[in-house]
Amino acid sequence: MADAPIIPIVGDPDSSAAGGGIARQEPREASRRLWQSARGLSSIGSASADRLEDALGSAGYDRAPWLAVLFAGGILTWFALKTPWQWAGAIGLSLIAALFALALWRNRPDRDQLRRAVIACSLVFAAGMAVIWARSEMIGAEPIERPVIERMQGYVLEREDQPSEDRIRLTMAVRDAETGQARKVRVNVPLDEVAKVDAERGSAGSALVEGSVLRLRAQLMPPASPMLPGAYDFARAAWFKGLAATGTLMGEIEVIEAGGGAGFIVSAQRDLSAHVRSRVEGSAGTIAAAFASGDRGAIPEADRDAMRDAGLTHLLAISGLHVSAVIAAAYLLALKLLALFPAIALRVRLPIAAAAFGALAGISYTLLTGAQVPTVRSCAAAMLVLVALAMGRDALSLRMVAVAAVFVLLLWPESVVGPSFQMSFAAVLAIVALHTSSPVRAFLAPREENWSARTGRRVLMLFFTGLVIELALMPIVLFHFHRAGLYGAFANVIAIPLVTFISMPLIAIALVFDVVGLGAPFWWLAEASLDLLLAIAHFTSSQPGAVKLMPQMSGVTVGLFVLGGLWLALWSGRGRLFGFVPAAIATMMLLATPIPDVLIGRDGRHVGITLNNEDGSRSLLSLRDSRSSYSRDNLLELSSVSSEPIPLASWKQARCSPEFCTMTVERGGREWSLLLARNRELIEERALAAACERVDIVVADRFLPRSCSPRWLKADRRLLERTGGLALDLERSTITAVVASQGDHGWWKGTSR
């Protein structure tokens, strides 16, 4: 073979050793190196790639949790993107990135961290998008077009008791009168009608149970989209439950065929809930029933609100605390009892046997309490803990949390956008990250000390854990509910040990002793402990400044909070402190979040206008004195007002006629005039057009003629059907609409589609 041409390398520090500044290179090799260097694909020719390889190789973090984050990120991206073309494009780009790294990115075997990370992250991200897209297509139910009053006959799929609301909810499979297709609807039935039907049949059990065939007349509505930007999206939740409509019974129910009732587990759950409420009276009995069976339908609204504002709502949702307590009790009890029998202790590994008993108890409790997402997540994580204990390995790890998260997301990928999943995993992640950190391990390490010092350290750690959990949950709570309890860490210091070590064990012991009729003393003690829990909740929530209200934060703000929290929890070493940077930026963005000046509900009927009082507080003017607590609460929360709304007609600076109200608001150095319709009474078009010309904003819950042309915004029925609810920032002259967050997802019914 002829010698290759000689290529001079100018300025090569090793040229003298190579022979007079001349280096020999194959043309193909030289071209390959130039091609890779130009594109930054080779770690040999890229200093930044070298540094990244070194960082990935020396970080010492666990990869599995980050893959779980990428899987959840793919699901969230599907919700954030608007059209199928964007979904397909994101999946395609992820697959191209993986194939590109697999086929063209060549590295030395000992420096392959970055390439493998790109391949794994791209595939996992694409898998997350594919899973949620497939689930949406498979179970999503097209909502009905418009409200209807319909007489229907259907098969009862599920019954949900809600005695605190004086009703039950029946989920039924019915056949559409026009198309003949089967659909699933949910109907609220008053308890009076339930009692009437049961009395007419004269049977021991209720007739309105699973498996019954009923004929009834109901007013049905499409599942409601968010009332305002940032409000709860029931239409999305109903889509993934397969609900096409929800409604209320009108008239009487005719039982065509009596059903056999629910399965064994659901029947046992209802019987257990009724038994507990019969043994413990009042609000304490409803809380005890929730702990024993997961049935929260009887808890009074005032108690739910107090628990929420005190930061104790997590105690009502059967999740990690309750499942862990049940499994831990079963594990320790089995371990101690089996150790009493030498024949067993010498032949069986007791940790494995105890883990089996704990697993049986945990799975039974999960099924009995309804197998909700937080419970399933907790049960899955607890099973991993039991496996680790049986194998003699560390039971508390971030990898355990990651596996449990992926397990839940594979079954219910839509849960990633819900507060239950987010709060549950945020709390568990905060606990695991905190207790696996070196400073906390050193603080809790066994040492020679008296019982008071040991107890003091445990109490201090419990308080600090509660504080960390509150900080981890606060952005999520503010994003979904726009309010957060500020004293939750203090309340949880007492409430968590009270529930874990007193209330739940007493309920379990009382149920056992009820078998022989001796449970009354234990029920009395359980009732006293739950009364104390409710007293703590009401006292904490009633303190000045106990609740902080915030307007709807942007997706960028909550994303920075999540990024900072994940970095703090999942990274290792001093590098994890960089997580405070996005968290600090998000905090400043949250504090700078503007409060909407005008809130317009999706139907144009409910309008709220914020007022800045002289003492620095805010008030809310309401166009209608609504009887709906849902509408009132949405207006108050999204305007960050804690006092009751003021009817616009009674405000002295507003001028109201039977048909319209007019008022002026000063914002951004100018005055904004508003014209708000109070009813659907028709008025003369010329007079309406003249009134519209003199104002900046017109709001009405009906179609307005084209001659009505205000200076800035006409939010009538025609516009609101396309946009959904609106939030107006007059100082910045911006409008935020519900439609901006919906896109072409199946649950959105805007006419713009």
CA dist., res. 722 & res. 604, Å (int): 12
Q: Where are the beta strands (DSSP E) in 163-275?
A: 167-175, 182-190, 213-221, 243-257
pLDDT of residue 549: 82
pLDDT in tens, 158-169: 888 888 888 999
pLDDT in the model for residue 560: 93
Strand 22-23, strand 7-8: pairing: antiparallel
pLDDT band for position 177 (50/70/90)? low
Contacts of 639 by beta carbon, 8 Å cutoff, 6+ apart: 551, 595, 596, 599, 608, 610, 618, 620
Q: Which helix (H) or strand (E) holds 480?
A: helix 451-481
Cα 354 to Cα 332: distance, rounded to the nearest angstrom = 7
634, 227 Cβ separation under 8 angstroms: yes
Helix (H) or strand (E) holding 611, with range, is: strand 607-612
Report yes or no: 295 and 276 within 8 Å, Cβ to Cβ.
Answer: no
What pLDDT, on the 0 to 100 scale, is given for residue 49?
58
Stretch 12-38: mean pLDDT: 45
Q: Is the pLDDT of residue 22 over 90?
A: no
- Does residue 362 contact residue 284 with C-beta atoms inside 8 Å? no
pLDDT at 38: 45
Q: Which pLDDT score is estimated for 77?
A: 95
pLDDT score recorded for residue 392: 67
Q: Nearest-5° angle of CA 192, CA 195, CA 196?
A: 85
- For 623-648, b/e burial (b = at least 16 CB within 10 A) is bbebeeeebbebbbbbbbbeeebbbb
3-state helix, strand, coil in the chain (%, to 5): 55, 15, 30
Quick: pLDDT tens for 198-255. Answer: 887 766 567 888 888 999 999 999 999 999 998 999 999 999 999 999 999 998 898 8
Beta bridge partners of 142: none
Report residue 452's pLDDT band, with 50, 70 and 90 as the boundaries.
confident
Q: What is the pLDDT of residues 116-153, one digit of tens each?
A: 888 899 999 999 999 999 999 999 888 888 888 989 99
Lowest pLDDT segment from 36-50, 497-511, 632-646:
36-50
Phi and psi for 378 in degrees, rounded to 5? Answer: -65, -40
* pLDDT for residue 753 is more than 60: no
Per-residue pLDDT reduced to its tens digit, 253-299:
988 888 776 677 778 888 888 899 999 988 999 999 988 888 888 88
Using DSSP's 3-state secondary structure scheme, residue 548 falls into strand
d(CA 363, CA 383): 9
Per mean pLDDT, which range of 15-24, 46-55, 730-739 is the poorest?
A: 15-24
738: DSSP letter: G
Alpha carbon 395 to its chain centroid, in Å, reads 26
Highest mean pLDDT among 363-367, 649-653, 712-716: 712-716
pLDDT at 6 over 60: no
Question: What pLDDT is recorded for position 294?
Answer: 81
